[in-house]
Amino acid sequence: MSESAIFKTQSLRFRRISPEEQASAVDKFFESMQSRRTVRNFSSDPVPFHLIETAIRAAATAPSGANQQPWKFVVVSDPDVKRKIRVAAEDEESEFYSHRAPQEWLDALALLGTDWKKPFLEDAPYLIIVFRIDYGLPDKADGSERKWKHYYVTESVGIAVGILLTALHLAGLASLTHTPSPMSFLSEILNRPKNERPFVLIPVGFPAADAEVPEIGKRPLREILELVGEKV
């Protein structure tokens, strides 16, 4: 058996904190995340790339099926490329709003005030496009011709995106999850390999000075939490 096939372990890096520290930490985290909002109006103010890079490093700590880490984060700051992405996205969104979407879907979106126009794709200093990697490609360097399947890709990438959005928020940045349908134009514009598929497009930056967000709420805890057993 090769060394790479041998199951290995290492010491768990885990520090158990006091109940008081636990309660304080989770309460502070909730308070911070409670202020997170999706933003569609971005300032052109520059954002230090270190914040983007570190947020992606945090996202890459996410658990994944068989630890295959089936994700790629492509960061775009080039104005010409952002312009191409906006034009292509607006073409798809125009079709969506005028022909593809059923009226029920359009009625739901009307509460958010969205339409086919996507200026944030150019206004935001960075676009982070997250690609899912459904299978591994052969490694020509070692003569391999075999490609291999990745497992639990949707779940793995979804968790990583959640961590990414959280990290961006904690860094004092605003973001938006944008999923035009279809998104194949992103693969073409960014010249991605055939085993990668766009998962989500995330504009990132500071909110515009006059940015507004819809007055929406979250469902109360009693509607989303159900305890089976007794409280400890």
- Domain containing 70 — which CATH number? 3.40.109.10
Whether 141 is covered by a domain: the verdict is yes
Residue 43 lies in a domain: no
**Its pTM surpasses 0.85:** yes
Give the span between the Cα atoms of 54 and 57, in whole angstroms. 5
Considering the domain boundaries, does residue 162 fall inside one? Answer: yes
- Coil/strand/helix, residue 71: strand
- Quick check: is 223 in a domain? no
Q: What is the pLDDT of residue 64?
A: 97
Strands 148-149 and 126-133 turn out to be: unpaired
In this predicted structure, what is the pLDDT of residue 90? 95
Is position 180 within any domain?
Answer: yes
Instruction: Name the β-bridge partners of 129.
Output: 74, 201
Q: Is residue 183 part of a domain?
A: yes
**For the chain, what is the radius of gyration of the CA atoms?**
21
- The label of the residue with tokens 């109940």 reads 19
What is the model's pLDDT at position 1? 38
231 within some domain: no
Q: Which domain holds residue 185?
A: 59-208
Token output for 20 = 């008081």
Look at residue 142 in the predicted model and tell me its pLDDT: 61
Q: Which residue has the tokens 């998962």?
A: 199
pLDDT score for 84: 98
pLDDT of residue 33: 96
182 and 68 in contact (C-beta within 8 Å)?
no
User: In the chain, which stretches have pLDDT less than 70?
Assistant: 1-5, 139-145
User: Quick check: is 175 in a domain?
Assistant: yes
Count the domains in the chain.
1
Instruction: Output the pLDDT for position 53.
Output: 98
Residue 126: partners with Cβ closer than 8 Å, 6 or more residues away = 47, 49, 52, 75, 76, 77, 203, 204, 205
Instruction: With CA atoms as reference, report the closest residue to 176 among 187, 161, 191.
Output: 161
